[in-house]
Amino acid sequence: MIRTVTLNPALDRSVSVPGLALDRVNRASGSRVDPGGKGINVSKVIKALGGRSLALGFLGGRAGDLLAQGLDDLGVAHNFTRIAGETRTNLKLDDPRSGTHTDINETGPTVAPLDLVRLESALFEGAGPGDVFVFSGSAPAGVEPGIYAAWIRRARALGALSLLDADGELLCRGLEAGPDLAKPNEEELGRLVGHRLEGRDEILAAARGLLAAGVGRVVVSLGSEGALFVDAAGAYLARGIRVEAVSTVGAGDTMVAALALGLEKGESLEKMIAPAVGAATAAVLVAGSGACDPKAAARYAAQVTWEALP
């Protein structure tokens, strides 16, 4: 079983606004609402790609009810911990004329210590060898930044695997626990090492630094340029596939979903390359944070090219 964790989920309202401009009335050409948050997006894609997962995290209020109903409608299994307060709503603004994608994210509710205890109990209930934990996204107020690190260590003690996709101190502290796979993007990796990464060699050196610190595998997403895959056996640069993007929301989460499925199957990093890049490419053709089309993901996976790096 793949277990995804979303500590600060959201209803994602995606609005298409041609010619978006500040300080004026704008007219939307379309909108949609999806259950969102990084771990939830991962679970939606795992479902679309034919896998099974259990989505866990915190939900509260009417927005939480709507989010849970949305997952039920999609057939995504979940076991959320109910809390006081209201699950946040995030606004995604896509301008098809300029090709820009703007996110406006709310902060979310505060989590009480007992809520965290209840979630942790649900998260690890029955877990053991063969399970994969996906720890991704931000943490709401009331949750310490070392939470992912603590859970990665607990997962390892149970014989389970862990995948980390976070930013800031959550990423920094989580990496100290040595997850089996980490997936920062180029900007997140740069913030982690303390400076902007210039060129492939600097990105590769930073990724190898994570391996030296105890991370099992590192995948650095590079947006339209593709992704860098690094483990003890080698380093591989996968080239991006040029498409006309509808929305970039959830593309990174889609890559994480494909990687989690690869971990669950015990695949080598090389075998994960094409499915991960193909699925991420298919994701940008979907409005909002909806799951990618599995047929499109397979079609693009067949087109992925990559090279081994020294």
Q: Which domain range does residue 254 map to?
A: 2-309
User: Can you give the pLDDT at residue 207?
Assistant: 97
**Catalytic annotation, pick one of 167, 201, 253, 293:** 253
Distance CA 20, CA 18 (A): 6
The owner of tokens 């991006």 is 240
Distance (Å, whole) CA 52 – CA 125: 17
The number of folded domains in the chain is 1
3-state secondary structure of 221: strand
Q: What is the pLDDT of residue 290?
A: 79
The model's pLDDT over 112-150, given as tens digits with 9 standing for 90+, comes to 999 999 999 999 999 999 999 999 999 999 999 999 999
The SS3 assignment for 43 reads helix
Task: Of 215, 211, 200, 210, give the one whose Cα is nearest residue 308.
Answer: 200
The verdict on pTM exceeding 0.85 is: yes
Lay out the sheet containing 88-95: strands in order across.
Answer: 30-36, 10-16, 88-95, 100-104
DSSP string, 151-214: HHHHHHHTT-EEEEE--HHHHHHHHHT--SEE--BHHHHHHHHTS---HHHHHHHHHHHHHHTT
What residues in the chain have per-residue pLDDT under 50? none
Instruction: Measure the CA–CA gap between 2 and 60, rounded to whole angstroms.
Output: 23
Contact 295, 301 (CB under 8 A): no
CATH at residue 152: 3.40.1190.20
Facing residues of 92 across strands? 14, 103
Predicted local confidence at residue 37, as pLDDT: 93
Quick check: is 253 catalytic? yes
Structure confidence by residue, pLDDT tens digits, 177-214:
999 999 999 999 999 999 999 889 999 999 999 999 99
